[in-house]
Amino acid sequence: MTRIDIWGPETAEKVFIMIHGGYWLIGNRKKCLAVVHVAQKLGYTVVSVGYDYANKDHVLSKTIVEALEGVQFALKKFKNAKKIVIGGHSVGAHLAFQAVTRIHDPRISGAYLSAGIYKIQELTSTTYGHDLGLTSEEAETCSCDYELMKHVRFPVLIACCRRESPKLYQQNQDFSSQVANAQYKEYENEDHFTILTELTKEESIVYADFFNFLYSI
């Protein structure tokens, strides 16, 4: 089931839609709110999207559909919005990627993808893959197709942490190299989780880059 929380006025002209991470298995829409302070400072209302976890009886492709339904619900709800930015952290970045490449709304003005997981074929043989009920076919279908991002005309900020698992770090580098309109920011001293929590600190470079990105839109 899709649920959303709203932080700010529903009459806002600028909206930031955030999708939480948690390997599609844990986490919730109330634990990715580090973006709220930054976004509201720039006049954005923040929408946090929740979705049902994936498992053997609720395959990942269904979870993706639910997340996209949450985004579409927000798009319809905020009729006055002129600019909408969609973001996510970890697998939330994966879901945000799916949203901005599948939903065609001229008001979508940017994408913020933090410590993302985009290619998931290798997860099929892992504990995560087992818990997700992830088959090879499902992994192929649900992985992000970088070619689709080449067609978006709005700015994309890809935030990557250096203290990341090597394969995820490489994914973010590969992804950023294939998207001409992407800004790539790498943070030497951050890991998969602090790259999100640093958004609560105004003195942080992660905060500054996110602030400047939203400001530029």
Longest CA–CA span in the chain (Å) reads 46
pLDDT tens profile 18-56? 999 887 887 878 777 899 999 999 999 999 999 988 988
The CATH number linked to 50 is: 3.40.50.1820
Output 106 or 150, whichever has higher pLDDT. Answer: 106
Strand bridging mode 44-50 / 14-19: parallel
The pTM of the whole model exceeds 0.85: yes
Q: What phi, psi does 53 have (nearest 5°)?
A: -70, 155
Phi first, then psi: what are they for 185, rounded to 5°?
-120, 125
Contacts of 23 (CB under 8 A, 6+ apart): 90, 91, 128, 132
Element (H, E) at 176: helix 166-177
User: What's the confidence (pLDDT) of residue 27?
Assistant: 80
Mean pLDDT of 151-171: 94
Return the DSSP state at 55: B
Question: What is the residue range of 61's domain?
Answer: 3-216
* pLDDT recorded at residue 67: 95
Average pLDDT, the chain: 94
Q: Check pLDDT > 80 for residue 1.
A: no
Per-residue pLDDT averaged across 69-96, rounded?
Answer: 96
Tell me phi and psi for residue 131, to 5 degrees.
-65, -30
CA angle 211, 90, 162 (to 5 degrees): 75
Q: How many domains does one find in the chain?
A: 1
Say which range, 52-56, 75-79, 165-169, has the weakest mean pLDDT. 52-56
Share of the chain above pLDDT 70, in %: 100
Integer Cα distance of 39 and 14 in angstroms: 9
In this structure, are residues 94 and 144 in contact, taking their beta carbons and an 8 Å threshold? yes
Res. 129: pLDDT tops 80 = yes
The mean per-residue pLDDT over the stretch 176-180 comes to 89
Burial 79-99 (b: 16+ CB within 10 A, else e): eebebbbbbbbbbbbbbbbbb
Residues 6 or more apart whose Cβ sits within 8 Å of residue 183: 155, 156, 157, 158, 213
Residue 208, pLDDT score = 98
